[in-house]
Structure formats: structure tokens, C-alpha cells
Structure 1
């Protein structure tokens, strides 16, 4: 799985460039701000922000383009968002275009007379219409700017802000703290700016972002931690922002070292992990029907993978069988293919094994420049890596009415991208089989005890933002196989019958 960049959350907080409210409001007058994007001091992209006011209507457009690097191949990613609001911050329209693969994902929302929003989501040319009830108090860009500037002159004040993200159609509730004025050095000079701090709490932890704002509430600098590095966006000239990017292997940065070699015979049995994470945070690793987690205190966790038992997770809900923009299980070509592949399979376990085997052989192109593709795109291109295997398998399983989720986690590799004995970001699926959740890994052709699950979801790429920063915070201190445990626990059956894992993705 490619690492998801948490900077998109920062983009939601970066308001547009300074503009004067004394200008003639009847004439369209766009202003543009450019920002350079740095990770660990290395340039990885740019952000262009355009602001336009016509009468009482304010339009804010933010265009983020970054290039991540994986094993020497550049992966261009982009998100363009546009919000249309009244001058008082009332939402009227929103638009987002995400470039995560060879095709764009487009979300368009328009306010209806009753106040709800008609939303069209288009992935790989396939459009879905939904009706969105606008979340009370949720704000787009101009509403956020007004809240920021209202609090800027009140050092020590705490308040909350509900920020709506057009790309994911989700609301992020952030706790705000006004720190005060500071002198900030930017690429082309220094400014006195108001420092405000945002803390977003999610089930996977807290994300802290620092913003430095000018006197009109526009961010001139933004900073957060990602993968143990500082991610910064700094206002500068267009020439500065558009300067060539510097290579940074994000996949390598997301790897977690293994304290020992794990040959195939050990990975096929019960494994116990002692994992260290930042103390004081929420549980970093989820419990599943195949993975049991014990809090040892002070940021130390005991994780047992194997010995599957039902009850580690909640049973499936209706959402676990529904299609969405990325897992298009209701598409005729997906339904027809699933029906042909399962054939005369007698039960859901046999269906899943046939579907897993089919997907393992179906993806024949493994380009390192693929960002994130939907099931239909994978069906068309035969291209992708572990996330593409997972979304296609999930779509086929749901087409057969088998409750299925996409898992984000990591898996052991003897060697990967020039590193040895590491756990790398990975994705697979869980399906509800015989009264419990059971894992199937189409990318590696089997599931074993070297898979550590961090989160589960419905296949939407934005879901992966929840765990992006975990990869830079986890440390595996010890791994103990079955035979080394007190009591000599019997080796369990985990998922499909294990085979040689290899190093393929």
C-alpha cells in the first residue's frame, strides 16, 4: 500500500491568500497565493490558492500537487477543492477532484432549495448521486477563515471548529488554541503572524497542526508531523513554489524494522508481538477475530496474531455489503465476473478462496506509479499493488453478498526496496465466514501471522489517512513464535492455508 499523506488535512486548514474587503465587490477579483510543500526539509510539491469574490459570493480554490517516491518511481498525487460560500460563510457549493491513479475522482455538491446538498461522486467515469444533509455548524473555507480571524486577537482562548472536507465529505471537529503573535521566517522574508494550534482527535489518535496566520486570518505557514518528519507548507513566490521536487522515498520511511528474521514456517503459526507506541495515545492496533491486543501500559502493547476466535470484532452491518464509489460491487461487470468465478462453490468460504485466487492472478501489471485505483479501474487495467488487489477482491465478494472490509496494516518482508527484515504498509480484506471475520490476502496469495491489522474500512482511500502517521510511530520490540511461549500454545489456523509468502506485493 502506498502511504497516504496526512497533508490533505492540513490543506483544509490553509485559507486563501490575503485580499482586501475594500475592493469593489461587484467585480470578480481573484487573488492567488503560492506555497511550497516540504517534508523533512525536502520539497515534495506545491499548493496554489485562489480566492475570488463577486458580490456576496466568495469562491475559494485550493490546488495541491505533490510527488511521492517509491523505489525510484515518482507517484504524482493531487487534490483540487473549490468551495462557494456567502460572505458570511454560508455553504452554497463544493467541488473536489482527486488524482490518485490514472483517472480522477470528482465530487460535486450543490445546495438545494430545502438546504440539503445534491452530491455527485464520479470515479473512473462512473457517477453516483446521493443527498447530503449538511452537518450543523460545518464550515467550508470562508467560514473557517472568519472563525480564525475572530479568535486571532485572543491569546490563550480555546474554541472548536467543524471543518467540512469536500473530497471525503467528512467533518473534522478540531480543538483550537490561540497561542499568540510570533515572528516567522518564510522562504522570502519574515512576518509577524498569529499562531493557532489545531488538534483533531480520531479513533486512531490525535493529529496536531500548527498554523501561522496574518491579520486577515490567512495561513502563511502550516506544519504537522508525518512519519516522524515535519510536513510544512510555506507561502512564497510562484517560482519558489514551482521549483523542482526532491526525491523522498515515502514507502521506505513507512517501514518498521523487525527485531528478528521470520522464515515462512514461523509466519504460518501463532506469533506474539511486543509493540511500543507513543504513550498516552489511543490504542494504535485494533483487535480482530484473528488479532488480540493487550495494553501493558506506558505505550507498550502485546499483540497476538493467530488462534482466531469470534467476538474480537463487531458482527457485520448492512454497510459491509454495500457498494461505494471505490468498491463498485453493484456494477454489472463486477457482478457478472463474481458469478462466473465462484461458479458452483458450495459455501462462502469456497467462494472467497476462488475469488482470492482469481484476483491474485488477475493483476498482472505492478507499476509503482499507481496511486489508488477503484475496483472498476483495476478490472479494466489489470494494474496495481496491494490496495488494488484489496478493493477488487472486496468488490467481487460484496457482489456475492459476502460482508467484506478492507484492512489497512503491515506485513513482514525478508527484503523490500533495499531493506531487510522489515514490516511494510499493506492492505488485504476480511470477510464474514462461518460466524467470524476471516482474512484473505490476494496480493501475497495468503494470510499469515506476519500481518498486523491497524484499521478496517470500506475501501475509500481517505480512510487510510487515519493510520498514515502510525507507521512512523510504531516500534516492534520483540516477536515470539509459538514454540518459545510459555505453555507451548498450539499453532492456529489463520485465514487461508498458508503458503510461502515471498516478497511480491
Structure 2
């Protein structure tokens, strides 16, 4: 079994102090190690996810909670979204009134429990739709630095999920150095989804968190505002182990969410004691309802902890009910069974009737129904999309085809194509982040620059006129569609630099590559996550496309389809310029609707 050693102390000193690129790959040093190279082959494992039987809360019983980590949720969401690819409602947790609300800011912890500083190693098995799809391990090791008691946390996750009949594998590694109370000193994360890994290292310096994000040879510095009330990956564990929740109590903590590289707020509510059936037998556990709030929305999950403060089971309601169950190392590393669940075909939102020639229509009116949320909040208005709220669970959405020809103006007019009226709102105009290169949209990559030049190579007819930005954008879209090959379903998000070399991918790679080509030509761009109509499935599946800012407006283009304009057979959820490696803003809205959405077609034009 391969063993990776991630020494963040060496990386931070050599990179931040010297201002050079970081070799995050394995290094020696004094860092402790965890196995992260275990490979699972299809076989029978026999493990079954547990069930829960609720009982009335027991009076006067104290339960110590722990291990309710938001980083696991974001990692899980990223894995599921990547597996969802291009293209039954879960009951929400029951709530309980909070007797009191607390936070860690300015509070005095109780006397430290032995477990708060005890070294330990735990393993978990992951289940999706009742089938085991991966495992994770976390190792906590106390150390003393400059007379200060600290904790070094090392964790890894591995997922293997079937998507459109192919296997997608994702691996995540994390290391951090924190105080027992969760104050973050330094960290490192590495995420691999089939292609080149995306790596982030960071450290807290005064009132800011300094980070370096590396992908496919590109290193980008990113800083976040930082303060003493913001915690690291262990903040929740340290808080609850030293000052356990009581039934009915709610606690709010602000923490860094690794991988997403953003700050989120976690709200924990201790509900009461329940009987939970685990692989080792039924146990009386404290139920904890949790909400992780990010800029892209909020995600809900439920955890059950024992009297020692260890969480033995977690269910992520907004990640298709993904379950993480405490197990032994041997159980976690058993070969995975062949999955019957396909996180591509099986999450398509089927329509009652197919839409003929859907992507060449002028407009489509939809009625959306969500099981547990307001669709008018999740489906954002944007270029070509209007949203009207009907009630708490229903909305009407009209999507229109945007083309210069709609107004009859000449698209070759050097003054610019006359796109449908209505420029962007004041808060939706391009920012510098929509124009500059970043770790995913690598518009300064030599291969990307060369590809853009090839796409816009002059023809004899071009010499007599000036290309408008709109025509440039359409030529770039056509070029991506013609020169790329569909495939690579075994990888998740690749960078534009990688795509420029291998010209292989699915909708995420098509969207990111087109965005990078546009930026290299001075055209602001961003990617959009949402749903698109899949003719072969007669329904809507997850999809990503591109928006370019031309002639004073954002206009959608879809290089995967290559039609020269994005038609109305799509539903827009959220856009992002992917600055700072922010995939969370794309992940959260999609997972809030997967498995919970009904789409009815009202009218087609």
C-alpha cells in the first residue's frame, strides 16, 4: 500500500517565505503519515448501512459530541457533483426548539477532557443509496511547539462512484496544525479527481489567512480576512469535546471549509437521545442536527454521537443521503462491491413527455416543484432566464434562446451584434476576477493562448472587416466543440491547461476551456452550473456551460452542444468565475435539487 507524506511545515516555509512554487508531493521530514493509496477492486463486502429508531430524550443525561466536520460535507458534495456528470426525495431531519444558543467567541472552556488531547485514529465507511462507495480516515496526534499544546490532524477520503457506466474515483488528503480549541495555524489540502491534483496550502498570519492554490503547474496566491472567532478543521471537535452540548442547545461556529477555501457557519442543535442500529449493534446516541451555511446556500446533515463524544454515524441530506458510518480499518478497506447505482443516469429528472428538438426552440416555459425548498430562490434569474415564484415549493421559469438574429441585426457588424435588450444589473457587471486567469480558468496558459489564436485565425473574408466580440466568442465555442472529444468520465474537474493538452472531457472541461479561451482574448467569462435537457434520457441532468460578456451583456454559450447559442432547454442555477478555486458555489445549489425536483413543461415555442 502506497503511503503519502504531506509535510506542510516544509511547504509553508519554502513557499510563503521564498515566494516560490510549492512541491506538495510526498516529502520526508518529521511529519506523521497516513495511508492514502489504498485501491479498491470490485468484490462483495457485505456491509450494510445502519437504521435509526427514535426514542424520547432522556432527562439529565450528558452527551459529548464531536467529529461533525464540514470539510467532510464539502468533500462529499464535490465527489457527488463530479460523479453526477453532464447530462426520491429525502426526508429532512426533524428539528427541536433550542433552549439556548452559544458560540465559542469569548467563552471559557470547561476543564479539558482527556480525549481532547488524546491521540487517536478513526475509520469510516461511506454509503450512497445503500451501497458502499468509499472510506475515510482521520488521525489526531498531539504535539508541543514553543511550549504550546497543539494537535496535528491528518485525514483522507476516497470515493469510487459509477457515472454513466464509468467509474469515477476521487481522493482527498488534508493536514492541519491547530490548537485543541480549533484555532487554525496552518493547513494543506490535495484533491484529485482523475486528472492533475489541486493543492492548497495556507497559514494564519495576523488578520488574514494566506493561501497558495496549485493546479497543473499554476500557483495562485489567495488571501482571506481572518479573525480569532474563525476556526479550522478541528474547531467543532475541540469545541464540543471541551464544552459538550446539552439536549436543546444550539451552537454556532464559523470555520474554514477546505477544498472550497471559503468560510462557512455551522449551526449545531442537540435534539435528544435515540436508539441507532449500527454494524456493531444498537446504541443510544445523541442526535445532532447541523446546517452548514455558505455563500452558495446551505446544506443540512444529521450526526449521532456516543457518550464519549465520538460521532458514529452521519447522514448528509443534501448530498443524496450520503452516509458515513464508523468502522474498523479492515472493514473500511474491504474491496468495494460493484455498484448498481449510477450517479449519472439514476439522478436524471425525467419528464412526462419528451421535448422535440429541444435545443433549437426559441423559448420554453417550465413549472418547477421542489420537495423541501423554494425553487425561485435556487434557480436564479440570469441571461435568458426569468423566474417567478408561485408558492413555497413551486416556481415558473421561462428560458429564451439568445441570438443576434432575434433582432435582425447583422452579427458581422463591427459595432457589435444586437443581442436581446437588457444589460446586466449593477451587481452583475464583470469584475477583474471574470477577466483574470485562475487555477481552473488558466487563460494565461501557453496552450490556451495558442488554441485561441488558432480558433480565430483569419480567413480571406476576415481581412475586410473587424470581428465583433460576439463573433469571436462564437468561433471560440465552435472551436472547442470541434477539437475536443467527449470522454474522461473517470475524472472530475480538469483545468483549462490540462484540456488544452489532451482535448478530452465532459461538460465541465468544455465550459472551463471556452471560458479560458475567451479571457485570453480579453472577453470576460464565467461558468454556469445547472440542468440541461438530455434527449437520450428524456429528462434533465447536471450540466455546466459558459457565459461571456459581449456588447454590454452576459450571453450563454454551450461548447458541449456547439450550436452557436445556448437554447432554452436548460435551467440556470448559479454562475462562478472560479476565482480562489471556489467550487463550493457551484456544488451546493445543484445538490439541493438533485433527487428532489419535479419539472413540468408548460409551453414550448
Shorter-chain TM-score bucket reads 0.7 to 0.9
Tell me, yes or no, if structure 1 residue 258 matches structure 2 residue 322: no
Instruction: Work out whether 1:194 is the aligned partner of 2:311.
Output: no
SS in 1 for 2:367: strand
Secondary structure of the corresponding residue to residue 250 of structure 1: coil
Q: Cα distance, 1:203 vs. partner?
A: 5.9
User: Please, which of 318, 330, 336 is the counterpart of residue 239 of structure 1?
Assistant: 330
* Distance (Å, rounded) in 1 between the aligned partners of 2:351 and 2:115: 60
Please point out which of 393, 399, 413 is paired with 2:520.
399
Q: Equivalent residue of 1:401, what SS?
A: coil
Give the secondary structure class of the aligned counterpart of 1:480.
strand
State how far apart, in whole Å, the 2-side matches of 1:12 and 1:422 are: 25
Deviation at 1:23, TM superposition (A): 9.0
2:372 and 2:115 map into 1 onto residues whose CA distance is: 51
CA RMSD of aligned residues (A): 2.6
Q: 1:468 aligns with which of 591, 598, 601?
A: 591
CA distance in 1, matches of 2:72, 2:509: 21
Among candidates 361, 368, 392, match of residue 482 of structure 2: 361
Q: Counterpart of 2:152 in 1: which secondary structure?
A: strand
Task: Please show how residues 309-458 of structure 1 align to structure 2 within 5 Å.
Answer: 309-311=421-423, 314-343=428-457, 346-364=467-485, 366-415=487-536, 420-446=537-563, 447-458=566-577
Q: 1:252 to 1:225 in 2, by over 3 A?
A: farther
Is 1:162 matched up with 2:254? yes
Aligned partner of 1:175 in structure 2 is 267
Matching residue within 97, 116, 120 for 1:31 = 120
TM-score for the superposition, normalised by structure 2: 0.71
The separation in 2 between residues aligned to 1:213 and 1:75, in whole angstroms, is 31
Aligned equivalents of 1:75, 1:7: Cα separation in 2: 20
State the distance in 1 between where 2:227 and 2:567 align. 42
Matched residues in 2 for 1:120 and 1:414: separation?
A: 42
Equivalent residue for 1:9, pick from 59, 69, 73? 73
The one of the two structures with greater contact order (alpha-carbon pairs below 8 A, sep at least 6) is: 2
Matched, 1:477 2:600: yes
Range that drifts further, 180-189 or 430-439: 180-189
From the superposition, tell whether residues 151 and 39 of structure 1 become closer, same or farther in structure 2 (CA, over 3 Å): farther
Distance in 2, Cα, partners of 1:130 & 1:57: 25
Q: Within 1, Cα distance between the matches of 2:521 and 2:241? A: 52
| Partner Cα distance (1:156, 1:175) in 2 | 13
Deviation at 1:405, TM superposition (A): 1.2
| 1:121 corresponds to | 213
Shift of 1:297: 1.1
Cα deviation, residue 133, structure 1 = 3.4
Relative distance call for 1:448 and 1:115 in structure 2 (3 A) is: closer
State how far apart, in whole Å, the 1-side matches of 2:424 and 2:210 are: 38
Where does residue 46 of structure 1 map in the other structure?
135
Verify the 8 A CA contact 1:106 1:123 in the aligned structure 2.
Answer: yes
1:302-339 deviation digits (Å, cap 9, x = unpaired): 11111654246522222211221111112333234324
User: Is the counterpart of residue 108 in structure 1 residue 108 in structure 2?
Assistant: no
Using the alignment, how far apart are the partners of 2:450 and 2:116 within structure 1?
A: 59
CA displacement at 1:24 relative to structure 2? 13
Cα distance in 2 for residues equivalent to 1:11 and 1:334: 29
- 1:82 aligned to which of 175, 183, 191: 175
For residue 326 of structure 1, give the secondary structure of its aligned residue in structure 2: coil
Give 1:88 shift. Answer: 3.4
Residues 266 and 110 of structure 1, relative CA distance in 2, 3 Å threshold: closer
- CA 201–21 in structure 1, closer or farther in 2 if over 3 Å, else same: closer
CA distance in 1, matches of 2:191, 2:364: 39
Q: Is the 8 A contact 2:208 2:227 kept in 1?
A: no
Deviates more, 1:177-186 or 1:94-103: 177-186
Aligned partner of 2:313 in structure 1 is: 221
TM-score (norm 1): 0.85
Gapped runs of 5+ residues in structure 2?
1-69, 78-111, 402-419, 459-465
Deviation at 1:222, TM superposition (A): 0.9
How far, CA to CA, are the matches of 2:224 and 2:395 in structure 1? 40
Residue 195 of structure 1 and its aligned partner are, at CA, apart by 2.1
Cα displacement (A) at 1:118: 3.2
Aligned residues of 1:277 and 1:475 also touching (Cα < 8 A): yes
**Could you tell me which residue of structure 2 aligns to residue 305 of structure 1?**
399
Please state which structure has a larger fraction of its residues in strand.
Answer: 1
2:64 paired residue number: none
Give secondary structure in 1 for the equivalent of 2:135.
strand
**Cα separation, 2, equivalents of 1:159 and 1:12:** 23
Q: Contact between 1:184 and 1:193, CA under 8 Å: does it hold in 2? A: yes
Stretches of structure 1 lacking an aligned partner (at least 5 in a row): 1-5, 14-19, 483-505
Change (3 A) 1:61 1:119: same
Contact 1:253 1:472 survives alignment (8 Å): no
Local SS of the residue matching 1:207: strand
Whether the 8 Å CA contact 1:226–1:472 is kept in 2: the answer is no
State whether residues 183 and 228 of structure 2, in contact with CA within 8 Å, keep that contact through their aligned partners in structure 1: no
Distance in 2, Cα, partners of 1:92 & 1:179: 32
Bigger-Rg structure (1/2): 2
Give the superposition deviation at 1:143: 2.0
Counterpart CA distance in 2 for 1:414 and 1:7 is: 36
TM-superposed deviation, 1:181: 3.1
Cα distance, 1:333–1:382 mapped onto 2, change above 3 Å:
closer
CA distance in 2, matches of 1:93, 1:162: 17
